[in-house]
Each structure stands twice: as structure tokens, then as C-alpha cells.
Amino acid sequence: MAYGVVQLLSVAAKDVDAYNKTFIGAADIENGSVFTLGDAVSGQEDEYAVVQPATANLADQHYMAASVNRLVTTINGQKYYNLAQDPRAFINVTGEPIDGIALKLGDEVRLSSDALAGTYVSSGSVTTHVVATDSAYKLTWATAAISGLSLKHVRTSYISIGDAIGSQRVTAYDFIVDAVV
């Protein structure tokens, strides 16, 4: 099992402080997943609750989990920094701060296939987009954009992760945000 990996190729959040927020999740959230802004966390000026995508908020401003988190939690709840290098070992664990960036029109991101729900279809009923989906943190492959957060698939790519003796290229997909309200 591998968790999703995200690379921010070119995003507005790189240059705008206000597009970067800190979130606290009520569930474990993989990098590359999306959510909307919830209530401010009591006693914390810079932390907001994560709200899972739902039919009612698909057209709201979405944020993408893009942590460089190095915190690994064992099954009994013990937490270790820098235990493992491979980003596929990380998930943003419940209750820990998550770096979230506001997705803006034109943003380019690269997501590993593990970060997405569904399967990419390249011929026939081609999946041209990944979209925000009710009751799911992960973006889901779709054959068209929706009235809400939609990212257009622009190329199939790879993310280089030092791994074993053979291929070190993890299948990934490049997207441009082309519909967000």
C-alpha cells in the first residue's frame, strides 16, 4: 500500500501567503486530497478544520493537502519524525497540522495514481478530468468537468522516487485546474 504523492508544479499559492492555510483533519488525509475551509480551531489563530467535499460544497473554494509532513504514526499511536524517506509512507494524520494550498484557476499539479480515486482511461470513454466528489477526500477520475472543482488531465507523467534496483518512476498525472468557483 502506498499513499498519494503530490508535486506542486506551478501554483498561485507559491507567491500568495493568504493561499496557504493550516488545517486540522478529523480523519487521516492523503497528500493530493482536497477539502474546504471549516471553522477556526479554538485557541489557534492559524488553524482551520477540514471539511470533506460534499454535494453542497463542491463549488466552494477547495484546498489541497500538500504537506511535506515527515511524521509517521505507528499503529499504537506513537509518532516519529524522519522515520522514513519515501513520501508514499506518509499520510496527514488526524489532529496534526496539514499544509493546505488554495487551488486557483490555472494551477498545475502532479499527482501520483495513488492520490486519485478511480482509474485513468486513455481510450474510448476517456477520463479527461479529476473532480471533487461527494464524501471523498480524493479527487476522482471523470469523463468531464463538473460544476465545481475540476482539474483537466494534461499529460501522463511520473514522479522519481528512489526505491529498488529497477524502475524508480512512479506513475503520475499532470493536471491544470480549469474549473473552480
Partner 1 sequence: MTNERNLIMSFASNEDVATGYEKFVEYYNAFKSNKSSVGVGDNEISMEDAHKKMNAFFSSEVERVARREMKDYKSNLMQYFQFTDVREAAFAVVSILTDLIVPNAILKDVAPIAEFTNVGWGDTAKVLVKPRDIFVPSKIGHGRRMGVIHQQFAGEVTIPTYLREVTVGVPFYDVLLGRYTLAEYMVKAATGLEAQIRYDVWDAFETAVGALDSSGTAKLVYTGYTQDDFVNLAETIGAWNQSRAVVLGTKTACSKVLPASTNYRIDLDTSSYVKNGSLRDFMGTEVIQMEQIADYATEFSVKLDNTKLYFVSPAQQKIIHVAMEGNTLGTVKDNKEAANLIATGTMMKSWGVAAATAALAGVITIS
Task: Confirm or reject binding of residue 164 to partner 1 (CB under 8 A).
Answer: yes
Exposure on the CB side of residue 108, measured as CA atoms within 13 A: 6
Least Cβ distance, residue 172 to partner 1 (angstroms) = 11
Strand 116-117 relative to strand 136-142: parallel, antiparallel, unpaired? parallel
Closer to partner 1 by Cβ: residue 57 or 67: 67
Contact assessment for residue 132 and residue 139, using Cβ atoms and an 8 Å cutoff: yes
Task: Confirm or reject binding of residue 24 to partner 1 (CB under 8 A).
Answer: no
Task: Confirm or reject binding of residue 168 to partner 1 (CB under 8 A).
Answer: yes
d(CA 33, CA 101): 11
Q: Which residue has the cell 496539514?
A: 98
Closer to partner 1 by Cβ: residue 56 or 164: 164
Task: Confirm or reject binding of residue 71 to partner 1 (CB under 8 A).
Answer: no
Binding window for partner 1 (CB under 8 A); candidates: 48-56, 84-92, 95-103, 126-134: 84-92
Among residues 3, 4, 5, 153, the one that binds partner 1 under rule CB under 8 A: 5
Closest CA to 66 of 8, 141, 151: 8
